[in-house]
Structure 1
Amino acid sequence: MPPPTAASTRRILYAGFATRQHSGGVHVLTQHVQLLRAAGEQAWLWLPDGAERPGWFDADVPVLFGDRVPVGADDLLVVPETPTVQGLDPAPGARTVIFDQNHFYTFAAGVPGDDFPGWVRPPAMWAVTAESRDVLAAALPHLPVALVPNIVDGDTFTPLPADRLRVCWFPRKRPREASLLRLLLRNDPRSAGVDLVEMVDLPRADVARTLGTATVFLALGHSESFGLPVAEALAAGCLVAGYDGGGGHELFDAPGAWRIPEQRPLLLRDTVFDLLARSGELAGVRAANREWVLERYTRERTAGALLAAVAEAFTRPGEATEATHPAAWLDTLGPQFTAWA
């Protein structure tokens, strides 16, 4: 990461949400704010009026509150891909970026027009994986798309001592299939003496402890752009088996990750028990998983890509205006999106 420069007077405002539990997507926004602040930029996380600062935010992440905020001609507004509504400009005339953390969610608020998103000034776009960048560039060739990769936190997610075999997973993206897999694992005689841990609404520290003591992480991602839980499981030294979710396929290039075809629950079950049976001989592979992911998703790489993307965004024109927080359009997503996203 480059050394800090003199503090800038221009602002970079990230529109985000105050989730009660830790959110991987919002956490990425806070990381961007921290990286930009360290480089001398006046970066802020912008939360809607009435929100409370979540307790899981780091203390050095500054927050603005308000349903509407003024945006200067020298400022940059960064908004999430959801809810981006065709023709509803959150800051008419402003210099904007859509930070697209999941290309599958880009049009969650409705069918796009040919000029998507139909704003006064076309935004730039940032993506978190090469797959996502390439998909967005092909779908929206009139918008520039930059790659700003995620950071994988190897300090928080690290192997810990364990006295027994453990399998863990998140059910949120595939609740029905997770219920089926839970029974398949529990009812198999090979599960004797194995901890089966379903992680639901756990604080981040508890997730890190669970992954750090797990032997196998069951990947149940769906419609992913990256798949941060898989990356964190690799950093924690887990063997990984399951679904890459599409955009997360790059993570399954890790030495100890087994990609399973969709809708093959028995194959997934048998792969998990095979890995448990071979866990001793695969100890070196687990260590290689951690080394592999931490070599690729570093703070320095993200900082360099982010600063380059910001520099490019500031070459685009902008004018002073008033911005509306994207929370104003959350109701366009509907219960189906919020239940499965």
Structure 2
Amino acid sequence: MAVYFLCPDSDHPTGGIKVIYRHVDILNHHGVTSRVLHQKKGFRCTWFENDTAIAYTRFPLGSLLSRARNKIRGTLDPDGIRTIPLAGRSSSEIGPSDILVIPETRGPDLADIGRGIPRVILNQNAFLTFKHFSFDTNNRKNPYADPTVRAVLVNSEHVEQYLHHAFPRLVTHRFYLSIDPKLFFPGAPKKKRICLSRIKNPVDALQVINILKFRGLLAHYEVVPFINIPQDRVAMIMRESLIFLSLGNREGFGLPAAEAMACGCAVVGYHGWGGREFFKSEFSYPVADGDIIGFARHVEEVIKR
């Protein structure tokens, strides 16, 4: 028996992908044979250090070869198990004695991946649950009701509440994200610096920064919008920054805001719903989504303290 975590073949820095790698590392550490499952042979994420165990599908899921194989099997045995061939030995495959973990981003097609194999859905962002679904009220294809989906793993209170409302009988299990204490910690001398993720809500970020600029508040401040840089570099920027702008929108959890807090930043901005459980006014500056004036006022308050 082995556990396979299907993962996008993307080397773009994405927290959810790192979580998949982390799950595999933890399971292997505790004696549960596990693999990240990529579809592009030889692919491995390089934006963070890892030596995570990886397996590769023999051909991409959804490819012509994959569809042809499933069609033939479906014709010969309509109720049969749709095993997933792996690269390597010809007999190597994911089968009914294994567990396949599939991300929520696959949408309704998730129901067709590895049909008959025990499956778990890894839902790290409730707002992506219905990605690729339709407005057709007669289309009842729903992987969350599939009997071979044993459970759903969730990363926040919000995701769990969302899924239980949509699917009241759903079995969910909460896991807790962690912050790497070797990277995200206070201690570096703070600079008059405001940092933010440039990929998160850039329209709102631009408004807030320019309001502060034209109110004369940034003359002695450096603004560092980072994007697509290694995690150790992000951590160093946060450790040296006085303020972190949280611009996450529709987040599953919103780990960067928590990492910035761990680095001693004054965190101002949106909790993105997923971060509501830790984004407390006692030690941060939560702002209602889209409240640009309130956002700018809170940052100004921190600057003037």
> How does the TM-score come out when normalised to structure 1?
0.74
Q: Which of 224, 227, 231 in structure 1 is aligned with 2:251?
A: 224
Contact 2:111 2:142 (C-alpha < 8 Å) held by counterparts: no
Q: Tell me the amino acid that sits aligned with residue 100 of structure 1.
A: N
Residue 245 of structure 1 corresponds to which residue in structure 2? 272
Q: Which of 141, 146, 149 in structure 1 is aligned with 2:176?
A: 149
Aligned length: 269
Change over 3 Å in CA distance of 1:119–1:89 after alignment to 2: farther
> Which structure shows the higher helix fraction?
1
What percentage of aligned pairs have identical amino acids? 27
Residue 78 of structure 1 corresponds to which residue in structure 2? 101
Question: Aligned partners of 1:37, 1:130: CA distance in 2, in Å?
Answer: 27
Which of the pair has more CA radius of gyration?
Answer: 2
Contact 1:152 1:232 (C-alpha < 8 Å) held by counterparts: yes
Question: Aligned partners of 1:132, 1:184: CA distance in 2, in Å?
Answer: 34
Question: Aligned partners of 1:163, 1:137: CA distance in 2, in Å?
Answer: 43
Structure 1 counterpart SS, 2:220: coil
Q: Which of 25, 42, 61 in structure 2 is aligned with 1:34?
A: 25
Deviation by residue 1:238-295 (Cα, 9 ceiling, x = unmatched):
11111111121012127321111222212211211211222xxxxxxxxxxxxxxxxx
Residue 290 of structure 2 corresponds to which residue in structure 1? 263
**Cα root mean square deviation, aligned:** 2.0
Q: Tell me the amino acid that sits aligned with residue 25 of structure 1.
A: G
Instruction: Tell me the CA shift for residue 99 of structure 1.
Output: 0.3
Q: Tell me the amino acid that sits aligned with residue 276 of structure 2.
A: H
Change over 3 Å in CA distance of 1:164–1:120 after alignment to 2: closer
Q: Tell me the amino acid that sits aligned with residue 179 of structure 1.
A: L
Q: Tell me the amino acid that sits aligned with residue 194 of structure 1.
A: Y
Deviation by residue 1:112-150 (Cα, 9 ceiling, x = unmatched):
855622646234111001221121112112321111111
Q: Which of 29, 33, 38 in structure 2 is aligned with 1:47?
A: 38
Instruction: Tell me the CA shift for residue 57 of structure 1.
Output: 4.7
Question: Aligned partners of 2:21, 2:266: CA distance in 1, in Å?
Answer: 29
Structure 2 residues without counterparts, runs of 5 or longer: 61-83, 86-92
Question: Aligned partners of 1:233, 1:224: CA distance in 2, in Å?
Answer: 16
Contact 2:217 2:303 (C-alpha < 8 Å) held by counterparts: no
Question: Aligned partners of 2:206, 2:106: CA distance in 1, in Å?
Answer: 30
Answer with 135-144 or 206-215: which moved more.
Answer: 135-144
Question: Aligned partners of 1:37, 1:222: CA distance in 2, in Å?
Answer: 33
Instruction: Tell me the CA shift for residue 187 of structure 1.
Output: 2.4
Greater RCO structure (CA 8 Å; 6+ sep)? 1
Structure 2 counterpart SS, 1:46: strand
Question: Aligned partners of 1:120, 1:141: CA distance in 2, in Å?
Answer: 15
Contact 2:48 2:230 (C-alpha < 8 Å) held by counterparts: no
Q: Does 1:111 align with 2:152?
A: no
Structure 2 counterpart SS, 1:179: helix
Instruction: Tell me the CA shift for residue 217 of structure 1.
Output: 0.8
Contact 1:212 1:236 (C-alpha < 8 Å) held by counterparts: yes
Structure 2 counterpart SS, 1:82: helix
Change over 3 Å in CA distance of 1:114–1:122 after alignment to 2: farther
Q: How does 1:324-339 map to 2 (within 5 A)?
A: none
Contact 2:196 2:245 (C-alpha < 8 Å) held by counterparts: yes
Q: How does 1:76-225 map to 2 (within 5 A)?
A: 76-86=99-109, 88-111=111-134, 114=140, 116-117=142-143, 119=146, 121-162=148-189, 164-225=191-252
Question: Aligned partners of 1:25, 1:150: CA distance in 2, in Å?
Answer: 10
Residue 2 of structure 2 corresponds to which residue in structure 1? 11
Q: Tell me the amino acid that sits aligned with residue 116 of structure 1.
A: N
Moved over 4 A (4+): 112-115
Structure 1 counterpart SS, 2:277: helix
Question: Aligned partners of 2:201, 2:223: CA distance in 1, in Å?
Answer: 17
Q: Does 1:272 align with 2:299?
A: yes
Contact 2:48 2:231 (C-alpha < 8 Å) held by counterparts: no
Contact 2:105 2:129 (C-alpha < 8 Å) held by counterparts: yes
Answer with 93-102 or 245-254: which moved more.
Answer: 245-254
Change over 3 Å in CA distance of 1:142–1:122 after alignment to 2: farther
Q: Tell me the amino acid that sits aligned with residue 118 of structure 2.
A: R
Structure 1 counterpart SS, 2:191: coil
